[in-house]
Amino acid sequence: MKGLEHADLKLKMIYNLFSNFGNIQKVIFIKPRGCALIEYQNEGYATIAKDFLNNLMFFNNYLRVSLYFQYNSAAK
């Protein structure tokens, strides 16, 4: 996700915004780049968050939310 360039933004603010859409496993805020990675408990939560938050005005910037799915393929 991009659009997090505002100097006053904190990790907790990002967490609070995205946790409205499902259980979060991990948040990585890369403040110098103005972006964050949000890992949800399942991909359904991530899809809902993207649908609601992409292009949302947040701290005078539009959020740009993208989805990336990671699948674990266990060898049997």
Residue 57 lies in a domain: yes
pLDDT by residue for the chain (76 residues), tens only, comes to 889 999 999 999 999 999 999 999 999 999 999 999 999 999 999 999 999 999 999 999 999 999 988 776 555 4
CA dihedral 34, 11, 41, 50 (to 10 degrees): -40
Name the residue range of residue 57's domain: 11-62
Residue 75 lies in a domain: no
Residue 67 lies in a domain: no
The CATH code of the domain that includes 57 is 3.30.70.330
Residue 76 lies in a domain: no
Q: Please state the domain count of the chain.
A: 1
Q: How far is CA 32 from CA 4, 55, 66, 74, in A?
A: 9, 21, 19, 35
For the entire predicted model, the pTM comes to 0.84
